[in-house]
């Protein structure tokens, strides 16, 4: 039985608790911690977790207590992801940290070092890998049936009202760490890295803020990533997109495949123009392959929690490791630097770059606006975590 603590019992902790409760034979919640302990108490009541769940107002007193904990879900705002995760790992506990892993590459390194030093397991939330459409697209891309990826288009389209950035930690480079490029496209950039199985070597980007004059950070960015073989990926990160039409389209050498699912495969005539009806044989083959991939047993956070618990139970690595979390932060950092400096940035980003360092992005970021309001807590707890 794996004893779990959750630090940060706000909106996203609901999905963690719901996921954990799916596996009562494998794990149980023994502690909840929040700087507003009444929010932790409310979760105990909401989910009927039982009176023996301990509540703490700070993670250090939780770690010093005699409550036996094996793993911690870190569900706080991004600026404390690294410090809380490292404290937990130094106390010998395994950590599953919400996205984004941290707001700087240096903090990612520190977290990876803590994982190694303490012989524990660090996992990073990227729950959309556990969605059938994403998972099947990955399997299909890896099969090679569609050929090499030449152009990837990533649509990280979200919509958030103006007041979204009024929450005390949001909309600031210091506490949220960035706008949708970091906090929303993190999901799609993780998918892209996972599907591509490689990192880009260059990034160019435009950052702007067109709808949220209460936030320091961007609310829209467009980036172009280039890979060593000359292929490219376009990444759109937005919180201004009505309808939140999200997805990934891969134009591969032999076919276009995408999530939401679509398939096209052209074949040329003697004059180089495409033949009507396309490459019927390949289309049939790919459709068959795709249809035969079994659905995932658990999707979203529940799927990732299942995978992480399995890693602890079997002494294996979880699907989404700290290294994966860092690779995603590296691409995001490159997009920010390209946008701030208005030039093409090479990856990997060197440790000597000021942007690699803790606070490096915060200290050098463009402030699109200044934060005007600071709401302690919203009453409404219902959130959406994307379509894909």
Shortest-Cβ-distance residue relative to ligand NAD: 10
Q: Is the link from the previous residue into 199 a cis peptide, with omega within 30 of 0?
A: no
Q: Rounded to the nearest whole angstrom, what is the least distance from the CB of residue 375 to ligand NAD in the complex? A: 10
**How many Å separate Cα 298 from the centre of its chain?**
18
Q: Which of 8, 318, 322, 360 binds ligand NAD (CB under 6 A)?
A: 8
Tokens for 47, please give them.
């989910």
Query: Tell me, what DSSP letter sits at residue 268?
Result: B
Write down the least CB distance from residue 75 to ligand NAD, Å: 5
Neighbours of 155 (CB within 10 A): 20
Residue 29 touches ligand NAD, criterion: CB under 6 A:
no
Closest-CA residue to 73 (of 6, 9, 3): 6
SS3 content of the chain, % helix, strand, coil (to 5): 35, 20, 45
Question: Applying CB under 6 A, does 102 fall inside the site for ligand NAD?
Answer: no
* Residue among 149 and 212 whose Cβ is closer to ligand NAD: 212
Find the binder of ligand NAD among 27, 34, 71, 250 (CB under 6 A).
Answer: 34
Query: Interface residues for ligand NAD in 199-258 (CB under 6 A)?
Result: none
275 CB neighbour count, 10 Å cutoff = 12
Give the residue among 58, 6, 51, 11 at the shortest CA–CA distance from 27: 6
Q: Is 299 in the site for ligand NAD (CB under 6 A)?
A: no
Of 71-79, 265-273, 275-283, 348-356, which part binds ligand NAD (CB under 6 A)? 71-79
3-state secondary structure 298-352: CCHHHHHHHHHHHHHHHCCCCCCEHHHHHHHHHHHHHHHHHHHHCCCEECCCCCC
Answer for which of 69, 76, 303, 307 binds ligand NAD (CB under 6 A) is: 76
Asked whether position 4 contacts ligand NAD by CB under 6 A, the answer is no
Residue closer to ligand NAD, measured from CB, 185 or 338: 185
Q: Of 47, 93, 87, which Cα lies nearest the Cα of 68?
A: 93
Q: What are phi and psi of 270, to 5 degrees?
A: -60, -30
With CB under 6 A as the contact rule, the residue among 16, 99, 131, 362 that binds ligand NAD is: 99
375 binds ligand NAD (CB under 6 A): no
Parallel, antiparallel or unpaired: strands 247-252 and 256-259? antiparallel
DSSP bridge partners of 5:
31, 72
> How near is the Cβ of 58 to ligand NAD at its closest, in Å?
6
**Least separation in angstroms between CB 78 and ligand NAD:** 5
Among 4, 71, 78, 88, binds ligand NAD (CB under 6 A): 78
Size of the residue set binding ligand NAD (CB under 6 A): 24
Does the protein bind ligand NAD through residue 73 (CB under 6 A)? no
Q: Cβ 30 to ligand NAD, closest distance in Å?
A: 16
Quick one: which of 2, 21, 35, 283 contacts ligand NAD (CB under 6 A)? 35
- Name the segment binding ligand NAD (CB under 6 A); options: 4-12, 88-96, 222-230, 343-351: 4-12
| 366 half-sphere exposure, CB direction, 13 A CA radius | 17
Of residues 373 and 385, the one with the C-beta less far from ligand NAD: 385
Strand partners, 161: none
Residues that bind ligand NAD (CB under 6 A): 7-12, 33-36, 39, 59, 75-78, 80, 98-99, 125, 127, 183, 383, 385
């Amino acid at each position: 039985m794996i004893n779990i603590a959750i630090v940060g019992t706000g909106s996203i902790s609901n999905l963690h608790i719901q996921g954990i409760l799916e596996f009562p034979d494998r794990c149980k919640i023994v502690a909840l911690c929040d700087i507003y302990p009444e929010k932790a108490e409310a979760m105990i009541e909401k989910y009927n977790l039982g009176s023996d769940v301990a509540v703490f107002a700070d993670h250090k007193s939780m770690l010093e207590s005699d409550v036996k904990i094996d793993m911690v879900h870190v569900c706080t705002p991004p600026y404390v992801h690294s410090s809380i995760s490292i404290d937990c790992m130094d106390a010998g506990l395994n950590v599953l940290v919400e996205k984004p892993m941290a707001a700087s590459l240096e903090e990612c390194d520190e977290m990876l070092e803590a994982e190694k030093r303490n012989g524990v397991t660090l996992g990073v939330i990227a729950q959309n890998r556990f969605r059938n459409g994403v998972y099947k697209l990955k399997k299909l891309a890896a099969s090679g049936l569609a050929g090499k990826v030449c152009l990837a288009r990533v649509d990280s389209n979200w919509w958030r009202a103006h007041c979204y950035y009024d929450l005390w930690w949001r909309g600031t480079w210091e506490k949220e760490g960035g706008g949708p490029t970091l906090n929303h496209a993190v999901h799609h950039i993780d998918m892209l890295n996972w599907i591509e199985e490689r990192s880009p070597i260059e990034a160019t980007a435009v950052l702007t803020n067109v709808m949220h004059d209460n936030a320091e950070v961007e609310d829209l960015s467009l980036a172009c990533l280039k890979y060593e073989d000359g292929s490219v990926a376009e990444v759109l990160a937005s919180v201004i997109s009505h309808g939140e039409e999200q997805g990934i389209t891969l134009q591969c050498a032999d076919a276009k495949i995408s999530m939401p699912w679509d398939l096209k495969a052209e074949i040329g005539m003697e004059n180089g123009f495409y033949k009507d009806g396309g490459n019927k044989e390949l289309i049939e083959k790919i459709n068959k392959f795709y249809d035969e991939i079994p659905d995932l047993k658990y999707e979203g956070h529940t799927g990732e929690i299942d995978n992480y618990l399995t890693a602890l139970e079997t002494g294996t690595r979880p699907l989404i490791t700290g290294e994966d979390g860092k690779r995603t932060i590296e691409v995001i950092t490159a997009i920010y630097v390209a946008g701030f400096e208005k030039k093409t940035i090479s990856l990997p980003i060197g440790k000597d770059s000021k942007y690699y360092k803790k606070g490096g992005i915060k200290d050098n970021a463009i402030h699109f606006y200044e934060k005007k309001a600071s709401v302690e807590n919203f009453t409404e707890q219902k959130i959406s975590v994307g379509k894909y």
